[in-house]
Structure 1
Amino acid sequence: MTTSNILNAVIPLVADLAQDLPERERLRRLLAALRTLLPADAVALLRLDGEWLHPVAIDGLVPDTLGRRFRLAEHPRFAQLLAAGQAMRFAPDSPLPDPYDGLVANHGQTIAHLHVHDCMGCVLQAGGLPWGLLTLDALEPGRFADPASLALLQAFSNLAAATVATAERVHQLAQLARSARAPASGHPAASGEREMLGHSPAMRQLAKDVALVAASDLSVLITGETGTGKELVARAVHAQSGRAGQPLISINCAALPDNLVESELFGHVRGAFTGALSERSGKFEQAHHGTLFLDEVGELSLPVQAKLLRVLQSGQLQRLGSDREHHVDVRVIAATNRDLAEDVRAGRMRADFYHRLNVYPLSVPPLRERDSDVLLLAGYFLEENRSRLQLGGLRLDAGAQSALLTHDWPGNVRELEHLISRAVLKALSRGNTGSAPARGGSRPRIVTLGAHDLWDGGSAREAGTAPAVAASPALPGLAVTDLPAAAPAGLREAVAAYERDLVSASLARHHGSWAAAARELQMDRANLQRLARRLGIRR
């Protein structure tokens, strides 16, 4: 590496420090510059958060790596890098498991060649404290054997730290503000709670809306399909609010018998009903100064809605069987997968109750509208399963990634979570087939999930045809008899030809507008464009 090459890589990064760049672009340029300086197959930037490391930027690793969360106690290489405090290299024959085994973009290599054979990394400091790690990995042994590589990485780490500090300043201030409001709260994953994940435009907008409304005390109504993560959004609103240090009390309105709803919400006194042997506070009183989360709020009966109105308006309530009033200071967040406006028109919900809840609406996008988040979320669930089952590595092959990206996800994120868990068990049940051998253990060191693990009989999903075929019956004027007969070439070719005709005709009707065609075909625009590319269609 000549001095000229080093300057060519570093000078643009120095100039970027004064530029107003999006965080993701700034970090992408940082990693790209590092790969021009050092011969790595993959580089990653990870942020330290308590006992966890979060990948915030990657280059050369599979996309689902961004969704993974690495616990330091389970990854000794990361722990050693943090303890060293400076750049260090692991010997190619190091017995310590590498967190990226199987995650380096393989470009056609067999499973036997997916182990990381050479790696090094360094700690990035911010304000005198460790901010995170910068790691480099290679599939070839001895790639970083030159002592100059370690010295170059150590020198580069100072520029990387400056870049990170610039990109993260707003993020750190927000974190400090939240920590000041809720000093006792820990990392969500550390306490068994999950977090909102997603880089898609829909999720970025939702995150902005959450931050905006969290700063107020307005009532929030969260809507979205089943399995989209409405409770996570409610927890995010509470965690970013001024009430974060106070309790968040949740209640599933659909799971309560009608005769117990009032008691659960408002409490009761002794003798209020058969079995009421002592006085008991309700959920509203338990959430005093905090937040009450009413899940499946659309299931509440009209009489209960009427009684809730008074609490929402004035904060006054009476325990069941008592004449004494109690005052509560509670922020209410409600969630539902129903169309409450339609329920109001049908008389199933009081209009005044609906408007009291719907002060600030938040809509959680379905997974099919977050196509760029699917692999990120899959990575999160893969790492959860890897940790729970104590596996060395867990990865998706190219067919599995394609199948996940083209699926419709009627069950949303919950469906994806359960799908990954089932697929891992299926892959383990077939032994070492498609997996790299373990070092002295009975389980494979790297378990690879294929499309056949995700779905039984998943050939249509592998081909990416399932979403479009599923949507086609809903098209106006389309009947089963309109479907073409199977072509001699087979079902897959016949379906592709039908899809090609359908998409081409829709684009022609709308003068090449992807957005209008996507609305007509009842698809997400990005999914339609991806399908069109696969079918060879140009606007």
Structure 2
Amino acid sequence: MTHKTLLNALIPLVNDLSRDLADGERYQRLVDTMQALFPCDAAALLRLTGDTLVPLAINGFSNDTLGRRFRVQEHPRFAALLDHEGPTRFPADSSLPDPYDGLVHAHDGVLEVHDCMGCPILMNGRPWGLLTLDALAPDRFEHVDMASLQAFASLAAATVNVVERISMLALDSEQERMRADAYRLAAGQSRRELIGQSPAHQRLMDEIRLAGPSDMTVLITGETGVGKELVANAVHAASPRARKPIISINCAALPETLVESELFGHVRGAFSGAVSDRRGKFELAHGGTLFLDEVGELPLVVQAKLLRVLASGQLQRVGSDEERHVDVRLIAATNRDLEAEVREGRYRSDFYHRLSVYPMHVPPLRERGHDILLLSGFFLEENRARLGLHSLRLSADAQDALLSYPWPGNIRELEHLIGRTALQTLGRQAQRPQILTLTAKDFGFRPDSVVTTTVPDIGSDLPNGGFREAVTSYERRLLSDSLARNQHNLAATARELGLDRANLNRLAKRLGLK
């Protein structure tokens, strides 16, 4: 590569520094230019977050690569790249496993002989992330000018610096700064995150950014398995209360006689078994956030008592007349239609309106398009590490099958399906493979469970109740068919639909199938 060629390629990227571009577009243009400049089959930009490398932009890799999270300690090549300030090229016969084996589009098997190199991106002298290049031929990078790659890495650092500075300028208030700190804190506490790029997912993230810094009560609605608890954690992390605890309670898992004690606490002797004073979840969450999951399961009498706490911040422990003050932000979640529950008299109208100050709907997985593959990549990487595999990937027909399946159990069903399928497929191998590829056959989808991308015209068949009744009718048909396939075995039906058995019981009762 001549200096003129390098300069001509870099000029558009330099011009980009002064343009108003989305972060993702800046990163993708950077990777695309790198692949055009250097003779590689695949290129990637990864950001170092804690001990994990997160792909931000890729070219030449399978779609699920963007959803993967690579722990540096599990990938010695990444660790070696981060340990050097300049570019590193690995020998073609290197014994270090390659984290990209099986993920390059142009190759389906193990990359036994190939060329691999990379370079750290440094910010203020510390590693910010990596640029990586992979080629399928063993001598492809023989004549690559390392100085040119270093120059490109410097430009990448400048691009990253621009993105970071733009982000900092956006934090123009103390509240915004606290929100940014909270996101970083949350990222360090848990590897689970909200992954996605679809318009539906972006709308949800916009809602979280808007509602998070406020102190409004948030009601998160959505089907079972869509990740409502993750959304609640994200709302808490985006709030000024982020450094205080978020206390969770599953209202459906508590016997009715213990709900009040769990929420408000009790004093010694309040009831049989109360051998000492105990703080409830509200007091434990003081200064922070209380997350009520499955809030649609709360008994009417408890709803009335919660109203008083939400209105005044005052509560009494069970068995006590002493008033206690709590400062708590409430986030609630349900898969029920609470408006319908109110109309049927099973839910208090005043309590519902207290909960739904800021309603937030989490979209079902079937409405999120290619987010399915990003989430699959995340779960594949988790299972690769858990099973001790070199690489775990999806075949092309498996990707198509995952995209075509309706996902009645949503993200939870996807997570469990990938974990179960990976374990079962590995168990069927005569010898332990270096790369385990999951196919559509391995997932075992029934022909009648895969949907086409053509949306039928249901206008003439819409029930009298409109959209809501149409959804209920679909749920009833889906559950009825699953029960029939499983000879009305509730445990088997719950597994097939990716539902908790208790939730399945309630759903069947609501739909008149029990």
How far does residue 426 in structure 1 lie from its aligned partner after superposition?
2.3
SS state at 1:431 partner: coil
Q: 1:364 aligns with which of 351, 362, 365?
A: 362
1:156 to 152, 156, 160: 152
Q: Deviations over 1:16-45 (max 9, x none)?
A: 111101122111111111111101111111
Cα distance in 2, alignment partners of residues 386 and 176 from structure 1: 36
Question: How many positions carry a matched residue from both structures?
Answer: 457
1:450 matched to 2:439 = yes
Q: Distance in 1 between matches of 2:237 and 2:104?
A: 35
Q: Deviations over 1:240-291 (max 9, x none)?
A: 1111111110000011111000000000001101111111010000000010
Distance 1:73 1:360 in 2: 41
**Aligned pair partner of 1:287 in 282, 285, 288:** 285
Task: Give CA deviations for 1:37-67 in whole Å, capped at 9, x if unaligned.
Answer: 1011111110111111100110111110000
- Counterpart residue number, 2:417: 419
SS class of match (2:350): helix
The partner residue of 2:327 within 320, 324, 329 is 329
Cα-to-partner distance string for 1:85-131 (whole Å, 9 max, x where unaligned): 2111111111111110001112xx4525x457211111112233221
Question: SS in structure 1 opposite 2:145?
Answer: helix
CA contact (8 A) 1:102 1:115 kept: no
SS in 1 for 2:231: helix
> 1:126 corresponds to which letter in structure 2?
M
Tell whether the 8 Å contact from 1:101 to 1:116 is kept in structure 2 after alignment: no
Report 1:373-384 matches (<5 A).
Answer: 373-384=371-382
Q: Secondary structure at the match of 1:371?
A: coil
Report the 3-state secondary structure (helix = DSSP H, G, I; strand = E; otherwise coil) of the residue aligned with 1:217.
coil
Aligned to 2:302: 304
Asked if the contact 2:6/2:148 (under 8 Å) is kept, the reply is no
- Tell me the percent identity: 60
Q: Which amino acid aligns with 1:221?
A: L
State whether residues 116 and 137 of structure 1, in contact with CA within 8 Å, keep that contact through their aligned partners in structure 2.
no
Structure 1 residue 16 and structure 2 residue 16: aligned?
yes
Partner Cα separation in structure 2 for residue 26 and residue 470 of structure 1: 34
Are residues 1:265 and 2:263 paired?
Answer: yes
Contact 1:297 1:335 in 2 (8 A): yes
**Preserved contact between residue 62 and residue 105 of structure 2 (Cα < 8 Å):** yes
Alpha-carbon distance in structure 1 between the residues aligned to 2:339 and 2:15: 53
TM-score by length of 1: 0.81
Structure 1 unaligned segments of length 5 or more: list them: 433-441, 479-539
Give the direction of change, closer, same or farther, for the CA distance of 1:57–1:116 in structure 2 (3 Å limit): farther
State the Cα distance separating 1:345 from its structure 2 match: 1.1
The answer to whether 1:467 aligns with 2:459 is no
Q: Quick check: 1:23–1:168 contact (8 Å CA) kept in 2?
A: no
C-alpha change, 1:154 and 1:341, in structure 2 (3 Å) is same
Which residue does the alignment assign to 1:405?
403
Supply the distance in 2 between the matched residues of 1:459 and 1:88 (Cα, whole angstroms). Answer: 48
CA RMSD of aligned residues (A): 2.2
Whether 1:229 and 2:227 are equivalent positions in the alignment is yes
Distance 2:408 2:131 in 1: 38
SS at match of 1:40: coil
Question: Any residues of structure 2 matched to 1:71-90 within 5 Å, and which?
Answer: 71-90=71-90
Show the counterpart of 1:137: 134
The answer to whether structure 1 residue 216 and structure 2 residue 190 are counterparts is no
1:127 partnered with 2:124: yes
In the aligned structure 2, how far is the partner of 1:300 from the partner of 1:110? Answer: 52
How far apart, CA to CA, are the structure 1 residues paired with 2:324 and 2:127? 48
| Structure 2 CA distance for partners of 1:66 and 1:246, relative to 1, 3 Å | same
Counterpart Cα distance in 2 of 1:379 and 1:115: 23
Distance 1:94 1:64 in 2: 26
Deviations 1:365-401 (A, max 9, x none): 1111101201000000000000111110011011101
In structure 2, relative to structure 1, the CA distance for the partners of 1:161 and 1:470 (3 Å cut) is closer
Alpha-carbon distance between aligned partners in 1 of 2:320 and 2:113, rounded to the nearest angstrom: 68
Q: Find the counterpart in structure 1 of residue 45 from structure 2.
A: 45
Query: Which residue does the alignment assign to 2:477?
Result: none
SS of residue paired to 1:288:
coil
8 Å contact kept, 2:178–2:240? no
Describe the shift of the 1:211–1:121 C-alpha distance in structure 2 as closer, same or farther (beyond 3 A): same
CA positional deviation for 1:427: 1.8
Q: Which whole-Å CA distance do the structure 2 matches of 1:304 and 1:213 have between them?
A: 26
In structure 2, relative to structure 1, the CA distance for the partners of 1:275 and 1:423 (3 Å cut) is same
Letter in 2 for 1:160: A
1:150 CA drift (Å): 2.2
Q: Deviations over 1:478-515 (max 9, x none)?
A: 9xxxxxxxxxxxxxxxxxxxxxxxxxxxxxxxxxxxxx
Q: Secondary structure at the match of 1:43?
A: strand
Question: Where does structure 2 lack aligned partners over 5 or more consecutive residues?
Answer: 463-514
